[in-house]
Amino acid sequence: MSETAIDTQELGEKIVKVLKTIYDPEIPVDIYELGLIYDVFVNEDYEVKILMTLTSPNCPVAETLPVEVEEKVKSLNIVKDAEVEITFDPPWNQDLMSEEAKLELGML
């Protein structure tokens, strides 16, 4: 396993930790456990691209949440740049939530 592979995996874990500090204002669960993060890409230049969704297209934080995600991920020293792309394909639904999130919200 090359050093780069270990670095990006380690960086991926750090990014997930950061994502778990960001909460949807309407639901007391972090955006990672809610299933709003569809994918995280890191290239060899440590530029991060995050593919995420929102609970609905009319989400009140549609403007601010992606900016918060970008800023928090960029705050990691090793990250050179971060970009968030919002998608509604597939649309978010409760099945995307982790067991932990469902338990937290009393859905299990």
Domains delineated in the chain:
3-92 (3.30.300.130)
Which pLDDT score is estimated for 16?
A: 96
Mean pLDDT, residues 73-95: 95
Which pLDDT score is estimated for 1?
A: 45
Band of the pLDDT at 9, cuts 50, 70, 90? confident
CA atoms within 13 A on the CB side of 55: 18
Coil, helix or strand at residue 45: coil
Four-point Cα dihedral 79, 81, 86, 91, nearest 10:
-20
Q: For 38-54, how does the pLDDT look when each residue is reduced to its tens digit (9 = 90+)?
A: 999 999 889 999 999 99
pTM score: 0.89
Residue 88 scores a pLDDT above 70? yes
